[in-house]
Amino acid sequence: MKKLATIIIVFVYALPTNAQINKGGKIIGGSMDFTMIANKTDSAKVSSESAIISPIFGVYVSPKTALGLNIDYKVTDQTRRTIHVNTFIKHNKQISEKFYAFSRFDFDVIPNRKEGNSKLFSLGFNFSPGIEYFFNKNWALTSSIASFSVRYNKNTPDNNNVSGSEKTTVLNAKYNFFSGIGLIYYWQKAK
């Protein structure tokens, strides 16, 4: 797994550099992701489903680097809905006339959100290399090849006197091989 990640990172940064998007160019778009998980044990079968809709907006601060916002709207098992606002940095490299490779770094913070009788603080980082295919001057189909993420969660009870309530801290690391397909519109793409 480490070899694959290293090869992808080296590949994305070793590509020839060509001007792509004008500085000040804007992107708007989004992606959708649907996940089904089934776990079976001797005593029970547990399954879960989730869907994520992620609109994005960004501005190119250089011909290859964009800064922007991503809003993840997630529905889990049709009962729980969450919204996360992420900031991202996206770096593009042109592979051919219509294909581009990118690496994207996401960062988000959830400061002291109330959940039940406790407060949740969450900090997340995500790295996603991927490819984009421009089927005309401004529209691109985008897909992440993989997604590496790390999340730190700290759950603090509101009332320390409640029986069974205690402060918990969790650090999660996750890898997804394929994380969604999206459509992006580019303003001011270089010709």
The radius of gyration computed from the CA coordinates of the chain, to the nearest angstrom, equals 19
Separation between Cα atoms, residue 160 and residue 162, nearest integer Å: 6
Q: Please compute the mean of the pLDDT values over residues 173-182 and round it to a whole number.
A: 73
Name the residue with higher pLDDT: 10 or 98: 98
Q: 143 near 106, Cβ under 8 Å?
A: no
pLDDT at 115: 64
Separation between Cα atoms, residue 83 and residue 55, nearest integer Å: 11
Separation between Cα atoms, residue 184 and residue 101, nearest integer Å: 14
Angle at CA of residue 61, ends 56 and 62, nearest 5° = 120
For residue 178, pLDDT beyond 80? no
pLDDT at 150: 87
Separation between Cα atoms, residue 47 and residue 39, nearest integer Å: 6
Q: Which residues pair with 34 in a beta bridge?
A: 51
Amino acid at 170: V
Q: Please compute the mean of the pLDDT values over residues 87-106 and round it to a whole number.
A: 91
Name the strand (E) or helix (H) holding 14: helix 2-14
Separation between Cα atoms, residue 29 and residue 27, nearest integer Å: 7
Is residue 7 classed as helix, strand or coil in its secondary structure? helix
Q: Please compute the mean of the pLDDT values over residues 79-93 and round it to a whole number.
A: 84
Structure tokens, 144: 């992440």
pLDDT at 6: 54
Give 13-63 pLDDT, tens digit per residue: 444 433 356 778 888 888 777 777 766 666 777 777 778 888 889 998 988
CATH of domain 2-186: 2.40.160.20
For residue 89, pLDDT beyond 90? yes
What residues does each domain of the chain span?
Answer: 2-186
Does the reported pTM lie above 0.75?
no
For residue 136, pLDDT beyond 80? yes
* Residue 64 φ then ψ, to 5°: -120, -5
Give 113-130 pLDDT, tens digit per residue: 666 677 778 888 889 899
pLDDT at 105: 92
Q: Which residues pair with 160 in a beta bridge?
A: none
- C-alpha distances (whole Å) from 94 to each of 79, 127, 165, 190 are 42, 19, 53, 12
pLDDT at 179: 65
